[in-house]
Amino acid sequence: MGQDNNIPMEEPARQFYFMELAGKLREDKEKKIGRALTYHVTTFGCQMNARDSEKLSGILERIGYTCTEREEDADLVLFNTCTIRDNADQKVYGRLGYLHGKNQNKKERIIALCGCMMQEPSALEKIKKSYPFVNIIFGTHNVYKLAELICIQAESGHMVIDILKDTDLIVEDIPNLRKYPFKSGVNIMFGCNNFCSYCIVPYVRGRERSREPREILREIERLSEDGVKEVMLLGQNVNSYGRGLSEDIDFSGLLREVEKVEGIERIRFMTSHPKDLSDDLINVMKESNKICRHIHLPLQSGSNKILKRMNRSYTREQYLLLAQKLKREIPDIAITTDIIIGFPGETPEDVDDTIDVINKVGYDGAFTFIYSKRSNTPAADMPDQVSEEQNKREFDRVLKRVQEVARERAALRTGRIEKVLVEEINSNDPGLMTGRLSSNLVVHFKGDESLIGQIVDVKLKECKNFYYIGEMIQEGKN
Ligand code: 5AD
Ligand code: SF4
């Protein structure tokens, strides 16, 4: 393989070459053992990782592996890891240990690790040393290369490690296997330049780079042709989309174009940084029939002192004005957020400020996290790290308030008829279907499987804290 002059140099042709080669290796092996080779991809972390996993699964399917639900039975197990907080790392170590103990006799099994945690040098070292049974390790910048790495590993028989520190390259047209036929994530940009002082993402996902608008639109058009009705535009900070592209386009400009794609009925996006959210974006949302009435707008803290130390580039006052403007211009909008408790130097008074913002904004939902020290981030060296005891107390206080507010907000919709994208059969009651409102709120209602992927009208009858029991009014025309 190393000497083969026919290996294309350019992407994605090179990867299609390796997918074919890996497919032949798989066929040979299957003939030898007399059964199909299986794979399982386990995803940790955010929507970006979920989308990467769809690409990884797409490559494995293309090679000809068969998907299996049971991780421990698979011939190729791939962990797509996260490292945003320490507990994400711990989960991976735990699962690796479990997997290894489970099937020690499965000598032929391939274990591959990729994603954010692999970009962290100390985690990589630990895996090399303590988990030598891992066969393939790669990072966030070369997800597209899985087939090539499988081939290299098969030839060498050794642990193969391929980590790039950063890249400008965006490889298009890699196969992918969508989890849902009717909705899909679409990467619009990669990386992050914000360097919030607690956050490891800029180090593991590299510098911000936007995809060309025509590539994004081509992908969305194809998705639409393939039956997708809802797209979620993905980026660490979608509001800065377009910087560095030769074409003069920003995020609202991109949304205007996505809006024109026929067949796409719902557009979501994630994540917005408050410092870059423009009036133009609010206008586009307001005028649009397709952009969902939901914005995820991470607050992180309501204290100016902490926001400054976090390097968030906005004050609580600016944030509140923005939230007010959003609610004034788009009255039915749902605002959700992320909050960190226990950032170095945070006092109970700072947490009071956070709770004050929670009360004033009236969040429809919030993810609350206890601060986790990430090595080499500026916050890791800050004085006044907060005690575990204070963290627990303040976390409970914030969580309680966030839940009360979200419950009150959800209840306001009782009796309304809203459009629902039907997503799946309810996991507890097969007589019920589960879907989402434009606001992202979940509703369960009587119906059958044939509704999956359709947009239907549902009357919101009974609010059960964070979801509704509803009744379908009429079948959608879709
Ligand atoms: N500790 C705790 N939470 C964090 N987040 C990011 N880094 C950390 C950290 N070191 C949270 C932020 C971000 C979300 C995705 O994860 O709230 O918005
Ligand atoms: Fe991390 Fe801040 Fe970038 Fe979000 S914007 S990924 S919190 S550095």
φ, ψ at 197 (rounded to 5°): -70, -15
What one-character DSSP code corresponds to residue 426? -
- Between 476 and 20, whose confidence is greater? 20
Using CB atoms within 10 A of its CB, is residue 5 exposed (0-12), middle (13-18) or buried (19+)? Answer: exposed
pLDDT, position 478:
44
Q: How far is the CA of 12 from the centre of ligand 2 (A)?
A: 29
Q: Which atom of ligand 1 is nearest to the CA of 379?
A: 10
In the block, tokens 């699962």 appear at 95
pLDDT, position 476:
46
- Coil, helix or strand at residue 178: coil
Count of CB atoms situated within 10 Å of the CB of 416: 13
Query: What is the per-residue burial (b if ≥16 Cβ within 10 Å, else e) of 74-103?
Result: bbbbbbbbbbbbeebbebbeebbeebeeee
pTM, 2 dp? 0.94
Alpha carbons 42 and 380: distance in angstroms, whole number? 29
Alpha carbons 133 and 153: distance in angstroms, whole number? 13
364-400 pLDDT, tens digit each: 999 999 999 999 999 999 999 999 999 999 999 999 9
pLDDT, position 339:
98
Indicate the pLDDT class of residue 226, thresholds 50, 70 and 90. very high
- Coil, helix or strand at residue 459: strand
- Provide residues with CB under 6 Å of ligand 1: 84-85, 198-199, 298, 300, 338, 340, 369, 371-372, 374
Q: What is the mean pLDDT of residues 342-360?
A: 98
Q: How far is the CA of 391 from the centre of ligand 1 (A)?
A: 15
Q: What is the mean pLDDT of residues 151-161?
A: 95
Alpha carbons 451 and 455: distance in angstroms, whole number? 8
Q: How far is the CA of 373 from the centre of ligand 1 (A)?
A: 10
Residues in the chain: 478
**Range with the poorest average pLDDT among 19-33, 159-173, 407-421:** 159-173
pLDDT, position 2:
55
Indicate the pLDDT class of residue 275, thresholds 50, 70 and 90. very high
Indicate the pLDDT class of residue 169, thresholds 50, 70 and 90. confident
110-133 pLDDT, tens digit each: 999 999 999 999 999 999 999 999
Mutate to test the pocket of ligand 2, among 48, 193, 201, 240 (most ligand atoms within 8 A of CB): 201
Using CB atoms within 10 A of its CB, is residue 302 exposed (0-12), middle (13-18) or buried (19+)? Answer: buried
DSSP letter string over 56-96? HHHHHHHHT-EE-S-GGG-SEEEEEE--SSHHHHHHHHHHH
Query: What is the per-residue burial (b if ≥16 Cβ within 10 Å, else e) of 422-435?
Result: bbebbeeeeebbbb
38-59 pLDDT, tens digit each: 999 999 999 999 999 999 999 9
Least Cα distance to 283 among 249, 315, 328 occurs for: 328
The percent of residues above 90 in pLDDT, for the chain, comes to: 92
Q: What is the mean pLDDT of residues 241-260?
A: 96
- 154 within 8 A of 26, measured Cβ to Cβ: no
Q: How far is the CA of 312 from the centre of ligand 2 (A)?
A: 9
pLDDT, position 457:
97
- Give start and end residues of each alpha helix (H) in 269-343: 279-287, 304-310, 316-329
pLDDT, position 477:
44
Query: Residues with Cβ < 8 Å from 109, sequence gap 6 or more?
Result: 74, 75, 76, 77, 103
> Residue 180: what residue type?
Y
Alpha carbons 14 and 148: distance in angstroms, whole number? 8
DSSP letter string over 237-276? TGGGTTTT-SS---HHHHHHHHHTSTT--EEEEE---GGG
Protein residue with least CA distance to atom 5, ligand 2: 194
Determine whether the shortest distance from the Cβ of 309 to ligand 2 is under 6 A.
no
Q: Considering every ligand atom shown, identify the ligand nearest to the alpha carbon of residue 299 and give its number.
A: 1
pLDDT, position 458:
98
**In the structure encoding, which two tokens stand for residue 276, read together?**
């870059």
Q: Does the structure show a pLDDT above 90 at 5?
A: no
Cis peptide preceding 12, ω within 30 of 0: yes
Q: How far is the CA of 82 from the centre of ligand 2 (A)?
A: 14
Q: How far is the CA of 388 from the centre of ligand 1 (A)?
A: 17
- 366 within 8 A of 301, measured Cβ to Cβ: no
76-94 pLDDT, tens digit each: 999 999 999 999 999 999 9
Q: Which atom of ligand 1 is nearest to the CA of 200?
A: 7
- 193 within 8 A of 208, measured Cβ to Cβ: yes
